[in-house]
A = this chain, B = another copy of it.
Amino acid sequence: MGKPQEERRKEIVQATMDLTAEEGIKRVTTQAIADRVGIAQPTVFRHFKTRDAIFAAVIGWIAENLFKAISSGFNPNEPSDEQLRKLIKRQLTFINKHRAIPKVLFSDFLHLESPKLKASLQEVMNRYIKRVTQILQQGKENGEFRNDLDTEKTAIYIAALIQGLVLRWSVYEFNFSLEDEADSIWQFLLPVLKSINSQNQIN
């Protein structure tokens, strides 16, 4: 007999991610997955009911490991700005290692194909925003950040900035290191978080 359920499932998920990174979702057929794992195509369906279920597992994997990555080495006693800087750095480092992420994120597949997947993506985003908002809030209370900071809006824009950069990374064939952008992003964000003069509005 072959390998036990759990092991095979992981292999299939991993193979799917690898193929997605290389080829883009559309070309990841169940046949291709089977070939990569080294099993027959129908065997894939012993472990996942449908093709969509495989991608649901992929998204699950990404979500789980993304949060693991951005939470690793979290120290609540550190200054908020350091917490946030590290979070961004870790997130970019993680995504930089997994090109499947933008391919999955930017796929028409997710963008209507299956409402369940969409819902779970929304959940991941919500959770991320909440996390960043917390840090911002804490920093605001600390006095580290501007006291007129709109924490949630800011969190949303930080997330958007990163996601947009990931899109760019993908569109430009991964021709720059995401990880290396962390510092410049941080420089970009500093005035948003810390500037003292509450701003020459509109004018």
Contact = CB atoms under 8 A, between A and B. Distances in A.
Interface string A147-162: 0001001101101111
Nearest to A148: B187
Residue among A122, A188, A197 having the largest count of chain B Cβ atoms under 10 Å: A188
B203 A81 contact: yes
Given A167-B163, A172-B122, A196-B197, A157 B111 contact: no
Interface stretch (A19-27, A69-77, A134-142): A19-27
Given A160-B164, A190-B200, A195-B197, A111 B103 contact: yes
A156 B168 contact: yes
A5 interface: no
A57 interface: no
Given A161-B161, A168-B160, A24 B125 contact: no
B109 A26 contact: yes
Q: How many copies does the complex hold?
A: 2
A122 B171 CA distance: 7
Given A154-B188, A203-B81, A111 B168 contact: no
A6 to B, nearest CB: 29
Interface string A181-196: 0001111101110111
A66 interface: no
Interface string A109-149: 11111000010011001000000000000000000000000
A50 interface: no
A161 to B, nearest CB: 5
A52 interface: no
Nearest to A104: B108
Contact of A167 (B23, B160, B192): B160
Q: What 10 A-B pairs are tightest by C-beta distance, nearest first?
A: A160-B164, A164-B164, A24-B112, A163-B164, A107-B108, A191-B195, A191-B191, A25-B108, A160-B165, A195-B195
